Structure 1
Amino acid sequence: MAAAGKEMSFLEHLEELRWTLVRAAVVLAVCVIGVFIWIEEIYDGFVMAPSRPDFITYRALCALGHRLGMDESFCVKDMKFNLFSNTPQQEFMMSFSLSFTFGLIVASPFIVWQFWRFVAPGLKETERRAAQGVMFFVALLFLLGAAFAYWVLAPMSFQFFNTYSLSPGIQKIWTLDSYVGIFNGFLLWTGVAFELPVIMVFLARIGLVGPAFLRQYRRHAYVVILVVAAIITPPDVVSQILVTLPLAVLFEISILLAARAERARLAADTTRAVQSGRPGAVAR
């Protein structure tokens, strides 16, 4: 970062960016290696948990069914997941893929913080104020999205895939890479999709979009949400609905937060205008 009162040259910015990337890469590598050391325990106890009928989500649905008087309708009694590896290197590659996914999730708060340390000195005062607190919520919403994918999206989708059958004569056998690929995709892309409120609030604070604009194009936004849900989920209706609903809720929350951010920005602009017009005036 630049010293106080001193602007950095282009080469100094490149050097600072290089060290920012190095620090982020080192922490990411440490997290990936740490996960890889315990990958067998993580795979058995965490990754494969949504494929078992005693997973917490299935037990919660079963309890809900009992409370609603629907007996065993919501209960998952049996899930036959026969995973197989069809290439010699597949188990190692999937171990690394899972290690990278979990390592990235663990390292994400530090990576976001490093990014903020790099860009903050170059922001204008209004932009710096607009971004205050944003980095914290970037990391938080990413983790919340990954948690939603793990405890809601993944188990419901795996249950759907496992019970859907085109014909009784077809034997359902999962490959290791298909299971891990769906699992990783759920965690990472749902985490990214949950960043919607942060993006909207930041754009509202710097005056690029406002709540009126978001309300005017609400229908268009829902179409975009449906497209995003179709891209980040497997091609089944259940998964797309499970992603579309929270994203729609997040969009509505974004409108409310954008309205609040716009009011704060306009109030700050008014205060600065009054102070510049009447030196020594105190903002009310």
Structure 2
Amino acid sequence: MKPHSHDLFDESTMSFGDHLEALRVHLWKALIGLAICVVGALFIGHKIVAVVRAPIDAALKEYNLDPRTEENSEEKQQKTVAELIASLNSRQEHTAESKALQEILLDYQHRIDNLEEKMSEPVTLAVQEAFTTIYLKVSFVAGLVFASPWVIYQIWQFVAAGLYPHERKYVYVYLPISIFLFLGGALFCFYAVFPFVLNFLLGFNKLLGVNPQIRLSEWISFAITLPLMFGLSFQLPLIMLFLERISIFTVKDYHEKRRMAVLIISVISMLMTPADPMSMVLMMMPLIMLYELGILMCKYFPSANASPFETA
């Protein structure tokens, strides 16, 4: 006789009061874990802010170092100041007035040298903005991200008590895929989409002759929201698999309605990204490839008779 495998949830049924008590316990554990991670994130908040603002810093630096603006007024001023200093050094007499003038010119040149670097930095518009709107917000979001495995585990501990063993088995398989797709979408946005989008948008500032001053709090909100949208949109293959398993669509439908799917993906990409075509295209192209991945998953993953979405 095959030995019975022990399962964590193969226990007697729970009353409604027991479920409420279990919910309270797991909720408190999740909140405590979240609080610990948020407090920990507060101690390294400045490093997290530096990571989040890295794309905009790099884009602004590249914008201000554009070769087309090498002969701008600041560089002309640098050349003029350098010529004046060289002229003063070439003179034989070094009066107090000439030394004072030379110090003033050197200080002015130092300020010009720092101007380009300062122009490449985002700004804040209120004295409390750096702490309340930026530091605390980033620390809380980072703490939530760090605590998410623990929070999800506590939610899973509560939900799994009401599932059959075969249902829990499929969650163990598909949940890691979902997390992988979400993280893949967020990282793709942060490291691939942001540079293109920022260069595209800053290019319009250059075209219109406008000098951009980026508000750091607005960039933080943008840098948090857009990767979230990409992470959610990258769940497309699992959504397709779910709809196929509950018999709303078939693999044949996905093949025949591919053009309609591309149109829907285009509309979704437009709604989930800022009002610029670059970010829309950069979301649309991976989603079209993920659509094809969804078709393959429907073909080669377990059949409907062993579906993870099938009720027992």
Mean Cα deviation higher: 139-148 or 217-226 = 217-226
Pair 1:239 & 2:279 matched: yes
| CA-to-aligned-CA distance 1:69-119 (integer Å, 9 cap, x gap) | xxxxxxxxx995442212333222222222233223323333333333222
Residue 148 of structure 1 and its aligned partner are, at CA, apart by: 0.9
Mean Cα deviation higher: 149-158 or 127-136 = 127-136
Alpha-carbon distance in 1 for matches of 2:246, 2:153:
21
Once the two structures are superposed, the pairs formed by residues 127-142 of structure 1 within 5 Å of their partners are 127-142=167-182
Residue among 42, 47, 51 paired with 2:52: 47
- Change beyond 3 A, Cα 1:226–1:105: farther
Residue among 24, 38, 45 paired with 2:30: 24
Alpha-carbon distance in 2 for matches of 1:6, 1:86:
60
| CA-to-aligned-CA distance 1:18-58 (integer Å, 9 cap, x gap) | 333332332223222222211112222x1222134499xxx
Pair 1:145 & 2:185 matched: yes
Q: What residue identity is the alignment partner of 1:134?
A: Y
Residue 236 of structure 1 and its aligned partner are, at CA, apart by: 0.5
Could you tell me whether the CA contact under 8 Å between 1:229 and 1:243 is conserved in 2? yes
Alpha-carbon distance in 2 for matches of 1:126, 1:210:
24
Unaligned ranges ≥5, structure 1: 56-77, 270-284
- Change beyond 3 A, Cα 1:160–1:204: same
Once the two structures are superposed, the pairs formed by residues 127-206 of structure 1 within 5 Å of their partners are 127-165=167-205, 168-205=208-245
Alpha-carbon distance in 1 for matches of 2:169, 2:247:
13
What residue number does 1:64 align with? Answer: none
Could you tell me whether the CA contact under 8 Å between 1:229 and 1:240 is conserved in 2? yes
- Change beyond 3 A, Cα 1:145–1:80: farther
Higher relative contact order (CA 8 A, sep 6+): 2
Query: TM-score, normalization: structure 2?
Result: 0.67
| CA-to-aligned-CA distance 1:186-226 (integer Å, 9 cap, x gap) | 22221222222233334444555432333344334333322
- Change beyond 3 A, Cα 1:161–1:79: farther
Pair 1:119 & 2:170 matched: no
What residue number does 1:35 align with? Answer: 41
What residue number does 1:84 align with? Answer: 123
- Change beyond 3 A, Cα 1:251–1:11: farther
RMSD (Å), alpha carbons = 3.0
Q: What residue identity is the alignment partner of 1:165?
A: N
Could you tell me whether the CA contact under 8 Å between 1:105 and 1:143 is conserved in 2? no
- Change beyond 3 A, Cα 1:162–1:169: closer
Alpha-carbon distance in 2 for matches of 1:236, 1:79:
27
Q: What residue identity is the alignment partner of 1:238?
A: M
Could you tell me whether the CA contact under 8 Å between 1:90 and 1:177 is conserved in 2? yes
Query: TM-score, normalization: structure 1?
Result: 0.73
Could you tell me whether the CA contact under 8 Å between 1:81 and 1:174 is conserved in 2? no
Could you tell me whether the CA contact under 8 Å between 1:113 and 1:135 is conserved in 2? no
| CA-to-aligned-CA distance 1:164-206 (integer Å, 9 cap, x gap) | 2276443311112221111111222212222222333344445
Could you tell me whether the CA contact under 8 Å between 1:108 and 1:139 is conserved in 2? no
The structure having more radius of gyration, on CA atoms, is 2
Could you tell me whether the CA contact under 8 Å between 1:201 and 1:257 is conserved in 2? yes
Mean Cα deviation higher: 142-151 or 103-112 = 103-112
Could you tell me whether the CA contact under 8 Å between 2:59 and 2:195 is conserved in 1? no
Could you tell me whether the CA contact under 8 Å between 1:226 and 1:240 is conserved in 2? yes
Mean Cα deviation higher: 127-136 or 90-99 = 127-136
